[in-house]
Amino acid sequence: MAIAVNNFDSEASNGLYFYIKSLKTSSLISVPFIVRTQWPYTKWNQISFSFVIEDRTDLESGYYQIDSGPLAGCDNGKSVDILLPFRTYFSQGKQIHYNLFLHGFEISTSVVNGNNRSPYEIQIIGSSSNISGIAISLSVTTITQVNSIYISYFAFQNTDVALVGGNYVYDITANPSQTLFYAP
């Protein structure tokens, strides 16, 4: 399964943290998710995400958590190269198609001037694939400190792919008593 964040909204804070991932299930009619936001400095109002589900041998979907070790703190203006290895054995010589999706992060910012803080900024500046996996380059162009990032992907060689997808919106403004911890 691959998960993509479409939109989010948070109150002002020194750092932001969340991730979304699917839980293993044998069910063919429902998909359980865990959405983690329980950090004291994070105050989310809305998180909207989509998902794609597959059950084929010629298509692979998954996610990786990249922590501060490989990110090396992702200092100001730094780019970091990361490999997302495949579990599927793709055929040599055939093109591999893939898509990448952000589905969580832990980032913080520092004071720039007085009480003003830098905006959060992280982006994927490049990617490529071969039969081993997907290589990506991340860039941080402000003083944002990146401690972890969560990336989903799906990859396939055939162009005839039938996928099941959906979306979910957690909106605290619609139901202030709702907590994301208990959201379906």
**Quick check: is 100 in a domain?**
yes
**Quick check: is 55 in a domain?**
yes
> In the chain, how many domains are there?
1
**Quick check: is 79 in a domain?**
no
pLDDT tens by residue, 100-125: 888 888 777 766 677 766 667 777 88
**Quick check: is 62 in a domain?**
yes
Residue 40 domain boundaries: 2-68+91-117+146-182
**Quick check: is 111 in a domain?**
yes
**Quick check: is 38 in a domain?**
yes
**Quick check: is 141 in a domain?**
no
Q: Name the stretches of the chain with pLDDT < 50.
A: 73, 181-184
pLDDT value of residue 64: 84
Q: What is the 3-state secondary structure (H, E, C) of the chain?
A: CEEEEEEEEECCCCEEEEEEEECCCCCCCCCCEEEECCCCCCCEEEEEEEEEECCCCCEEEEEEEEEHHHHHHHCCCCEEEEEEECCCCCCCCCCCEEEEEEEEEEEECCEEECCEECCCCCEEEEEEEECCEEEEEEECCCCCEEEEEEEEEEEECCCCCCCEEEEEEEECCCCCCCCHHHCC
**Quick check: is 52 in a domain?**
yes
